Structures are given as C-alpha cells and as structure tokens.
Structure 1
Amino acid sequence: MKRINLKLNVILLTILAMFAAMNSYSQQTREEIPAKYKWNLTDLYASDEAWRDAVESLTLKLDEVEQFKGTLTKSASNLLKALEFNTELSKEASKIYLYAGMNSDLDTRDMKYNGMKQELQSLFSNFGAKAAFIQPEILAADWETIEGFLKEEPKLEIYRMGLENMFRTKAHTLSEAEERIMALSGMVGSVPQAVYGTFSNAEMPKPEVTLSDGSTIAIGSAEYGRYRASSNRADRETVFNAYWNNFAKFKASYGEMLYGNVKSDIFNARARHYDSSLEASLYPNNIPAEVYHSLVDNVNENLPAFHRYLKIKQRMMGVDTLKYLDLYAPVVKDVDLKYSYDEATTLILEALKPLGKEYVSTVEKAVDERWIDVYPTPGKRSGAYSNGAFYDGHPFILLNYNDLYDDVSTLAHELGHTMQSYFSNKTQPYPTADYETFVAEVASTFNEVLLFNYMIDRVEDDDVKLSILMEWLDRFKGTLFRQTQFAEFELKIHEEAEKGKPLTGDEFSEIYADIVNRYYGHKEGVCHVDDYMHMEWAYIPHFYYNFYVYQYSTSFTASISLAEKVMSGDKQALDNYIEFLSAGGSDYPIELLKKAGVDMTSTEPFEKTIASMNKVMDEIEKILDKKEKE
C-alpha cells in the first residue's frame, strides 16, 4: 500500500490566537462557519454511503492479490500485472482512508469516523498479511532477471525506483511467513499512537484557572496555545502551571504510551536485522545516519547563537530573568500583527509570485475551491497539516486560523506542502508521486522564507519591522533548535531502551530535563526552565512518528539555501526548484536535493542557516540600539 502521508507543520499543535475574544471564529461551531472556509469533502465521496460502497468494493478486490502468488518472476507481464493491481488498490485505499481520517479530524469526539479509521486499519493490515509474499518472491530472483524484465516491458519502468530500492534493502526483507507476521503486527503496533491521540485530543481533563481579569477558563491545548502568547506575564504563569502540572498527573500513563511506541520501533528494527531503530528509520530512504548525528552535533556546537537569540528576547521584553513561559509572548509593545484569513491569502499570493504563474494560480484555486479547512471549532484536531494522498484529485489543508501573523506563516508553510503534492501528483506516475518527509519540509519552509522577505521589504516602521524580524527569528528557534532538541530526545530514549533500560514517565522527564535545560542555558542563567516543563515530552505527538522531527531541521537549512538562490533572480535555480517539487519520490531524498542545488551531506547548508540567523539578529540589535538612543 502507498504510505498515507500527513505533512505536519513545524509547530503542529499550537498555532492559535492571543485572545479568544478577538476572534469570534474560535467560539463558533462548524455549522456557524461559512462554507467557503470549510473543506468540501464531497470531492472525495458524495456521502458516507458512497464511502461505504467504495470500502465494500475494495474489500472484494483485496483477496484477488493471492492469484499472483508464485507467478511474479515468471515473466515481465506477470510482474507488471501484479504491480498495476497493487497500484490501483493503493490509490483507492488512500482515498478511502483520507475521507475517514479527515472527517475524524474535524471532530475527534465523534467516534463514528474514528471507528471507520479503525475498520480500515484492520482491513489494510489483513491485506498486508495476504500480500506478504510479494516482496520475498521478487527478491528470490536475481537483479539481472528483474533488469531484463524492465528492458522487455517499458510499462515496468515507473516501478524501477521501487524495485531497485527493494533489492538495496534485501538484507532487511524477511521470509513470506515472517513478512506476514510483520504485517499483522501493525494491528497492535499503532495502538500507542492511537491511544495518545484520543486521550490528548478528546478525553484528557482540562484544569480550570482564574485569570487576572477575573475570568475562569478551562485550559486545553487550544487555550494553552492562546494564553501562552498573552502579554500578561501573571496569566502566562497561571496557565503554564495549570497546564503542565495537569500533564504531570498523567505522567505514568503518558510514559506507558511513549514506551510502548519505542518498543514497537525496536521490535521492527530488530525483526528486520537493523543495528538500531535510527538505522531502521533512515536506511530505507538511503539517508546516512551521519546526517542525523551531524545535525545534533552542529546544533549543540552553535547553542551560543541560540543563547544570543534568547538574550535578545530578554532585552526586548525588559525582564530581569527570561523564563521558558516568556518564549511565546509578544516582545514589541503596541504592535499587534493581526491579519484576517482573507488578508493572509492576499499577502501570500503576492509573496509567492517569484515562483511563477502556475504556482500562484494553483494556490488561488486551493483557496477558492475549498481545499482548506480554516478555523478552529469544538473537537477539531489541533494544529495544521497538508495531505496530498488524493492522487487523482487535489491536496487538503487543515488549519486552526486565529488571525495572528504566525497563522499567516503557517498557511504559507502548509501551501508549500500542498504545492509539492500538486506538482508531484501532476508530473509523476503514482508509484513515484509520493515523496519523503526529508524533502517535504523544504517546500513548506521555502514559502515561509518568501513570505518573510516580502513582508520585511515593505515595512518601514521600526516596531513592526522588529515584530516581523522576531517572528522570523522565532522560526529558527522553533524549527532548527527546538526540533533538533526533540530529535536528540528521541534518539536518547531509543538508545536507552535498546540497552534494555525500561522507561517510565519519570525517566522520560529526567532525560528531557537534561536536554531542555542545556539547550536553553538554564544553569548559565540564559533562560529559566521551571521544573514542570520537564513534562513537555508528553505534549509532542511527533515522538510517535518514528524519527520524524529531525527532518524539520534539515529541511529548514536546505530551504534557506535554495530560497536565497531563487530570490536572487537566478532563473536556473527557479527551474531546478520547480523540478524538485515535481520529482516526487523518483529518486532518494539526498539525491533530489543535490539536483535542486543543496548537498545535505555537507555542513554548508547548516553554516548558511546560522549565518542567516546571525544576520537577522544583527538587524534586530541595530534597530534596538537606534531606539535606545532616541
């Protein structure tokens, strides 16, 4: 089956508003929101009944896979028939799952669509068990035989990439019986993530707090995201204390969830004869483990640059001690950068013009034809993502838009994912249309770079310029340093578990405390990290995605390098970039980026990113010095 991709954004859970009262949409039900701001899921299926018919039709076809058993390597035509059969099934399965999954995301409290997802997961797992013979049977032949088939039957060429990779990873492919067991294990391996999602989004109790204005509110993820950006420090303190101490009440349960997921990763790695969970995650995409380790090492060596950022934030806020709870608060007084969704789309369309007419016109279509579900509503999945799994249709974007400039940037980010899916699906045959996360975040961050440069070039007021510069600097914090902080934590907990150490909520908190305190210079007095923040690991859904987060950081460095070339007016750089967006999974991620113009096995992208960050900080300090002299 083709992997079902959810392209998650850099700050997956917390792109929310400063004050609920400033945006009435945050209080509205779905019925109260105009249709133009909501998904049109009839693009997938006209109704739940039509979806059910599609599921039944697909179910009848699944058993047909067994007709190919024992025939795959007897002729080129036999191999082609089997692969084409799998392609058609996969396309329909992706569409079916997309409909159930996105309906569930619109209201995580509605168990109907959650049940539909579970039904499909069981169905696909059973199919995987029946189709377990395919890969071992192909690998039983030698590559020369398969190469001969490719030359004999031109229609097989679109499967070359997958077949070559299959033979490259041959040492990690098991026997038919073992592959069947591995496929069936997917029914239980996904349980920790499913439990985490349901509990965190739908069932975790919300603590109540009383704010400085006398109002009493329940603090869930949406409220936390809103009030952590409050300009009132006392309110932030209240909200942080309540929110994180509430997580601590469920430390043992969150520990079991995450440890269960780590054990699942280890099981898969050892069953497939990998030396580690990290290798098992990276090797199928031909990404050297050194890329991961190099990222962590480079970020740790450049923590002084991060600490410089934190000291600038302290200076701008005018506080004696910068605290972790200050990191999302506004730093420029009397500047409230708020943009309605319609204003945001206008800004983004202007900012993206360097990418050409087709790019911009497709973004307009995404806005006008309801590819985007815009506003937060009760029960809606928090955060944002783009899903490009509807190959014969169009991508979809989920937002929780609350009128902050940060939300404008998030929309630009998700449109980057959407456009990569659009170009890949349009250009590539289905077997090579899907692309890996390692390259996915390049397209999204690239759009953020264009938006930042568009905005900063048109702002003259120093306070507004400072606000936008700091927002962009916050992206370096959130994408390069924070995501690498998560990546280091994820690596550490897997390494500890692989040594045989059992992990509980207490151990996770201890490991996280060591990393977060080091990154934020807690002991050096750069930024004070309260003890309750040691529970933050329980808040991050990415830890259930098998070494996912490091790719945000690597992609950020790649996008900085590529965007500079395109913005310089280099037409060849633009052509290379559009070709990159259109390449899908037609080559390995490292090679696709090399063709686009950036070598991720070198230190150059990281060095350019740190230089860019320092340039922004130089500009901020220049404006601050000027203002202090006035």
Structure 2
Amino acid sequence: MRKIRTILGTTLLALVLALLAISSFAQQTNRAEIDDKYKWNLTDIYPSDEAWRDAVNALSSELDQIETFKGTLTKSAENLLKAMKFNSNVSKEATRLYIYASMNSDLDSRDSKYNGMKQELQHLFANFGAKAAFIEPEILATDWATIDGFIKEKPELEQYRMGLENMFRTKAHSLSEGEERIMALSSTVTGTAADIYGTFRNAEMPAPKAVLTNGDTIEVTSAAYSRYRASSNREDRQRVFEAYWHNFAKFKASIGEMLNGNVKSDMFQAQARRYESSLKSALYPNNIPVDVYHSLVENVNKNLPAFHRYLEIKKRMLGVDTLKYLDLYAPVVKDVDLNYTYDEGSKLVLEALKPLGKEYTSTVKKAIDERWIDVYPTEGKVTGAYSNGAFYDGHPYILLNYNDLYDDVSTLAHELGHTMQSYFSNKNQPYPTSDYAIFVAEVASTFNEQLLFNYMVKTVKDEDVKLSLLMNWLDGFKGTLFRQTQFAEFELKIHEEAEKGNPLTGDSFSEIYDDIVKRYYGHDQNICFVDDYIDMEWAYIPHFYYNFYVYQYSTSFTASISLAEKVMSGDKKALENYMTFLSAGSSDYPIELLKAAGVDMTTAEPFEKAIAAMNKVMDEIEVILDKKGL
C-alpha cells in the first residue's frame, strides 16, 4: 500500500498493490475493444478532465488560508476545531484529485498527460505541506491535558482524538516548524526513485524475445512471463525464464540505483526524525513493535522444513528428478485446467462470500455491476492488481489484469476484501479515521481468499480438481507467507547494510537476494535448484519501494486464517467482531483492532495456527497421492 499523508496523518492516497499475479490477456490489447462494463467509470470521481481542472483551481485558491490559523491553534477549542476541519477538508479533496489523475495514468502509463497531472498535484501539495508545517509543532508546544480538555469541550473534536493522541505519542520524532517545512518540501524528491522505477518498468523497459518449442517467437513482457511460467511445457518455461531474467540483468546497474535511491530516501526520513532505524521509522507511527517484524522472519526460518515439505510434494506431483525454481508455477495436476471467465469467477466469489452476510455480498455485486472494477490488461496498463479505497464520498475502485485463471478468481476475491474494508470504514467512520493502517490492510483480502478456497474444496467432487485446488491453496500459502517473508528479509537486510554505511549496487542487491532465495528454497540441500539468474528477481518487485510493506502480507495472512476459521465455524460473535473490524478504520491502533477481532499478533499463536493449517492441507494432499499411487 502506497500512502502520501498530510501533516496530521490523514490519507492522501491509499493504493493496495496486492499480489503479483500479472495477467497475460495477450489478444486483447486494444482498450477500445473491451466492453464498457469491464472498465472503470472514473466519471464517478469527476465527470471530465475539465471538471478536474476546475476542482484543482478551486482548491488551489483556498490553500493559503491555512496560514490564518498560525498562532491560534491552542488558544481555544474552537480555533483547534476550525484548523482541523480545514486540514481534513483539504486532504479529502486532494485525495479525490490525486486518485483521478493516478488511476487514469494507471490505465496507460505511456500517456504523459495524466502523469503530468500527478506531478502538478505533488508539487501543489508539497507547497501546502510546507505552509502547514507549523501545525504539529504548535500543537505539541502545549500539553496533552490542554488538548484533551478541548476535545471534551467540543465533541466535534472527538473524531480527531486518535490522530492527536498519536501526535503526542510520537512527539520525540516531531520537528520544529522550519524543519517540518523542509520535510514537507522534500516530498517532491523523495519519491523520485519509485516514480522512475514505475515508469521504466511499465512503459519503457524493452521486452526480450524467446522462441518457443513450437517455433513461435514471443515478446516476453511481464504479462507473457506470468503466462508462460505457468506453462506445462518445461522447455518453454526454461526459455522464457532465461530471456526474462537475463533481460533484467542488462539493466542491473540502473535498477540498482533506483532501489538504492529509495533506500536512501527511507534512511533520510528515519534519521531526520531521529529514529534508530528505517524499520523503526516505518513501524512506530502505527505503534507496531519491531519485534513483530523480527519474529516473523525468525519463525519462517525456523519453519523452513514445512516449506521444504511443500516443495517435495510439488516435485512428487510434477514427476521430476530435480525440482527447479522455474517449476514452481507449473500445473501439477494433469488434464485439470482451472479456467474461469470473469463472469464465472465473479459468481464463484459471490457464492463463497455468503458467510459474511447480505450487506457484504450485495455490495460486492454492486462493485461488479457498477464498474468499480477495471478487469482486463491492455497496452500500457500497470501490471498486477490493487484496490483504491481513498474516494471517501464515493466508492472504492479495483484494478485487475484478469486472464481467466483460478489465480485471477482468487485475486478478485482478494481485492474485494480490500474494497469492502474501505467501503465499511468509509461508511462507518468520519473521514479522519476512515483510513486503515497498512498492518491490517491484508487481513480482509486474505480472509476472502480463505473463504473462496473453502467454498471450492467443499463443492467440487472430482478428486483431481480437489487436488489442484489444494495445491493452489498451498501455492498461495507459499506466496503469501514464505515468499513475502523472503522479500521482507531482503528489505530488512538492504536497509541494514545501508545503515552500516555499506554501498548498495545492482551487484550487491543480487548477492543478498541470491543468498536468501537459495536458503529459503533449500538449494544447497537439493530441495529446489535455483538458477543463478534468479538473483535478479529483486528488480521485479515494486513493493520494495513502499517502505517495509511486504511483511504485512505475511502477518495479515496468519491473522486472517485464525479469524476465518472462527467465522466459518458458524460463530456469530466472531462474525460480528470481524464486521466491526472491517468498519473500524484507524479508530484504534492496528494491534488493538486485531485483538478486538480475536487475534493477538504479539504472540506466536497466529503463526503456529497458520503452519498447522498448512500441514493439514499437505496431509490431505498426500492421502490423495497415496491413493492414486503417485
């Protein structure tokens, strides 16, 4: 999830970039050929670019008013309320402006028009942030008792309590007015590395070619790579892997500088605000103990034998002498093609989500029917999938790259989880607490995936299809818990190296990544052979530009397994608690919200339950394999 925040922590942009299930709907590259019902209706945000421009001009004319509040904030409850309201209204309108430009840009990253609109807004908001830099220092110049008294005097201030309390909790990391102004202005440059990476990767990076075993020559775009890595033809997988990763290696130095620039930006933010590390800087504002991060990495490394068991099952089902990294996405059940059109997949998801109640499923249907979702890949469209729930007065949006695979159905369920959390939080929370922290963002999404899996396993009768679904779940488990923790360990390591003063280059990134990936996959134990060119995979992961985001896929996944088990057992109180969680926004700290929902992430219990669930599925798979004599 990528966030740009105003002074008081209100969300300016919340994009959940979830999964790396990049689609390959290769035949449909012309957006004009796609039926409108499968495309976003962005006129819900603004009816036209002209209306957007009018809104920009209107907001611009109001921004200087922020300076009229200077020196008045702590003189009365009324003054504080006026300033908070003004800041909140600016944030809400700025968010609306930004998502319109951003999502239009995402539909065709080759079109510089909307990218230019984004840059214009970034400059505008950076200037506003500089003018508003006095707010936090001025409030912190008084004591909490005074602010608490204001809130009691003016009940309208209650909606800002959480943000104000957190401001005082993080007081040691707040700066003077002048310093805050510099920090605000710096936002125009600190995101440059991520912007360059996104533009290069999605729009300008040339695609290599590969010759398939049938003689066809293909362009190995990211979409094609995603398609052919799941091919049943091992030689084709080999050729596509080699072409794709060797192509990344040609740009190792440049992409290395991009990621190095992002790490330096994280370090700058941390050091400027007097945090002991970039990790602490990323986690402390949401009151997440760094032990949660370290424990995740340690627990995963301790449980690599369970991961290796999964790899041995994969090897057994593929019938290969040596399992290779390029085999990990290959179909393992012969003659079973889990293909679903988007319309079929939508119906499956709606059925699977019925345990969450009528309001939940009717809103999901509305999202499908009323063009909240942009479904298919087209030329220039950003890869992957995300849900953007930042349009507070409207509705969330989902970007997909749907390719008729079961993974795409699962991705749809995943993104709808994000969308529904945004929908319920926006509906039940005032704007200042409608956003939710990154730490809980992946709970609702992986919860939906779990419901879909359970529905599919219970409804299918064919043993081969069931086996395919069970393996698909394990693949998802691998991708969400082990693979994301692998990324989290890499992200932690590169920041630690930079903080020690060690240089970061494309070569050093590859060396660090190679060591981690080979350890996780048991390369030296002959569990899974990892080709040397996989040391470039770090350059493929956009999440490394989102400041310690990826670990939350893993923590959220373990939380969602625990919560889903309770809801699916028919526990009405568990369902009530879960729906309360979805509606809570940022009304409390993430750890406390999850505790109220029924899971304590400061303990090892959620992780242990997740590993137990994994072993249970592997037991079931092995029973079927033994029965089939495989």
Name the TM-score, length of structure 1 as normaliser. Answer: 0.98
- Say whether the 8 Å CA contact 1:445–1:556 is kept in structure 2: yes
- Say whether the 8 Å CA contact 2:594–2:601 is kept in structure 1: yes
* 2:19 maps to which of 11, 14, 17: 11
Aligned to 2:217: 216
**Alpha-carbon distance between aligned partners in 1 of 2:125 and 2:57, rounded to the nearest angstrom:** 13
Aligned to 1:535: 536
Judge which range, 381-390 or 26-35, deviates more. 26-35
Aligned to 1:609: 610
Aligned to 1:33: 34
Alignment of 1:595 with 2:604, yes or no, is: no
Alignment of 1:450 with 2:443, yes or no, is: no
Aligned to 2:279: 278
**Alpha-carbon distance between aligned partners in 2 of 1:624 and 1:263, rounded to the nearest angstrom:** 50
**Alpha-carbon distance between aligned partners in 1 of 2:56 and 2:503, rounded to the nearest angstrom:** 41
Aligned to 2:179: 178
- Say whether the 8 Å CA contact 1:416–1:445 is kept in structure 2: yes
**Alpha-carbon distance between aligned partners in 2 of 1:534 and 1:409, rounded to the nearest angstrom:** 28
Give the CA deviation at 1:215.
1.0
**Alpha-carbon distance between aligned partners in 2 of 1:369 and 1:171, rounded to the nearest angstrom:** 47
Deviation readout 1:439-498 (Å, 9 max, x if unpaired):
110000000000000000011111100110010001110000000000000000000000
Alignment of 1:160 with 2:142, yes or no, is: no
- Secondary structure of the residue aligned to 1:61 is helix
Give the CA deviation at 1:16.
2.4
Deviation readout 1:317-357 (Å, 9 max, x if unpaired):
00110000010111111000000111111111110000000
**Alpha-carbon distance between aligned partners in 2 of 1:300 and 1:273, rounded to the nearest angstrom:** 31
- Secondary structure of the residue aligned to 1:8 is strand
- Secondary structure of the residue aligned to 2:391 is coil
Deviation readout 1:141-164 (Å, 9 max, x if unpaired):
111110110111110000000000
Alignment of 1:342 with 2:349, yes or no, is: no
Aligned to 1:398: 399
Give the CA deviation at 1:80.
0.2
Give the CA deviation at 1:98.
0.5
Aligned to 2:89: 88
Amino acid at match of 1:531: D
- Say whether the 8 Å CA contact 2:13–2:99 is kept in structure 1: no
**Alpha-carbon distance between aligned partners in 2 of 1:431 and 1:595, rounded to the nearest angstrom:** 21
Amino acid at match of 2:11: R
Aligned to 2:629: 628
**Alpha-carbon distance between aligned partners in 2 of 1:127 and 1:10, rounded to the nearest angstrom:** 30
- Secondary structure of the residue aligned to 1:523 is helix
Give the CA deviation at 1:134.
0.4
Amino acid at match of 1:205: P
Task: Spell out the pairing of 1:378-417 with structure 2 (5 A cutoff).
Answer: 378-417=379-418
**Alpha-carbon distance between aligned partners in 2 of 1:5 and 1:582, rounded to the nearest angstrom:** 19
Alignment of 1:359 with 2:366, yes or no, is: no
- Secondary structure of the residue aligned to 1:611 is helix
Task: Spell out the pairing of 1:515-534 with structure 2 (5 A cutoff).
Answer: 515-534=516-535
Aligned to 2:423: 422
Give the CA deviation at 1:9.
4.9
Aligned to 1:441: 442
Give the CA deviation at 1:217.
1.1
- Secondary structure of the residue aligned to 2:47 is coil
- Say whether the 8 Å CA contact 1:16–1:225 is kept in structure 2: yes
- Secondary structure of the residue aligned to 1:209 is strand
**Alpha-carbon distance between aligned partners in 1 of 2:609 and 2:383, rounded to the nearest angstrom:** 33
Give the CA deviation at 1:266.
0.5
Give the CA deviation at 1:379.
0.7
Amino acid at match of 1:459: V
Deviation readout 1:512-567 (Å, 9 max, x if unpaired):
01100000000000000000000000110000000000000000000000000000
Alignment of 1:309 with 2:333, yes or no, is: no
- Say whether the 8 Å CA contact 2:282–2:547 is kept in structure 1: yes
Deviation readout 1:283-318 (Å, 9 max, x if unpaired):
000000000000000000000000000010000000
Q: 1:255 to 1:475 in 2, by over 3 A?
A: same
Task: Spell out the pairing of 1:480-495 with structure 2 (5 A cutoff).
Answer: 480-495=481-496
Give the CA deviation at 1:11.
2.1
**Alpha-carbon distance between aligned partners in 2 of 1:347 and 1:384, rounded to the nearest angstrom:** 19
Task: Spell out the pairing of 1:553-572 with structure 2 (5 A cutoff).
Answer: 553-572=554-573
- Say whether the 8 Å CA contact 1:30–1:377 is kept in structure 2: yes
Give the CA deviation at 1:502.
1.1
Aligned to 2:334: 333
**Alpha-carbon distance between aligned partners in 2 of 1:334 and 1:5, rounded to the nearest angstrom:** 44
**Alpha-carbon distance between aligned partners in 2 of 1:29 and 1:38, rounded to the nearest angstrom:** 12
**Alpha-carbon distance between aligned partners in 2 of 1:374 and 1:127, rounded to the nearest angstrom:** 36
- Secondary structure of the residue aligned to 2:515 is helix
Q: 1:603 to 1:101 in 2, by over 3 A?
A: same
Unaligned runs of 5+ in 2: 1-5
- Say whether the 8 Å CA contact 1:10–1:479 is kept in structure 2: no
Aligned to 2:238: 237
Amino acid at match of 1:567: M
User: Number of aligned pairs?
Assistant: 622
Amino acid at match of 2:267: I
Give the CA deviation at 1:29.
1.1
Aligned to 2:58: 57
Give the CA deviation at 1:7.
4.2
Alignment of 1:99 with 2:100, yes or no, is: yes
Amino acid at match of 2:107: L
Deviation readout 1:201-242 (Å, 9 max, x if unpaired):
000011111111111111111111111111111111000001
- Say whether the 8 Å CA contact 2:106–2:381 is kept in structure 1: yes
Aligned to 2:3: none
Amino acid at match of 1:3: T
**Alpha-carbon distance between aligned partners in 1 of 2:586 and 2:14, rounded to the nearest angstrom:** 16
- Say whether the 8 Å CA contact 2:22–2:222 is kept in structure 1: no
Aligned to 1:576: 577
Alignment of 1:169 with 2:170, yes or no, is: yes
- Secondary structure of the residue aligned to 1:27 is coil
Deviation readout 1:154-199 (Å, 9 max, x if unpaired):
1000000000000000000000000000111111100000000000
- Secondary structure of the residue aligned to 1:593 is helix
- Secondary structure of the residue aligned to 2:523 is coil
- Identity over aligned residues, as a percent? 76
Alignment of 1:511 with 2:512, yes or no, is: yes
Name the TM-score, length of structure 2 as normaliser. Answer: 0.98
Task: Spell out the pairing of 1:143-158 with structure 2 (5 A cutoff).
Answer: 143-158=144-159
Amino acid at match of 1:163: L
Amino acid at match of 1:11: L
- Say whether the 8 Å CA contact 2:13–2:95 is kept in structure 1: no
Aligned to 1:586: 587
CA-based RMSD = 0.9
- Secondary structure of the residue aligned to 2:210 is strand
- Say whether the 8 Å CA contact 1:26–1:375 is kept in structure 2: no
- Secondary structure of the residue aligned to 2:398 is strand
- Say whether the 8 Å CA contact 1:9–1:410 is kept in structure 2: no
- Secondary structure of the residue aligned to 1:212 is coil
**Alpha-carbon distance between aligned partners in 1 of 2:324 and 2:405, rounded to the nearest angstrom:** 22
**Alpha-carbon distance between aligned partners in 2 of 1:282 and 1:348, rounded to the nearest angstrom:** 33
- Say whether the 8 Å CA contact 1:439–1:555 is kept in structure 2: yes
- Secondary structure of the residue aligned to 2:629 is helix
**Alpha-carbon distance between aligned partners in 2 of 1:500 and 1:399, rounded to the nearest angstrom:** 40
- Say whether the 8 Å CA contact 1:26–1:376 is kept in structure 2: no
- Say whether the 8 Å CA contact 1:41–1:99 is kept in structure 2: yes
**Alpha-carbon distance between aligned partners in 2 of 1:331 and 1:63, rounded to the nearest angstrom:** 61
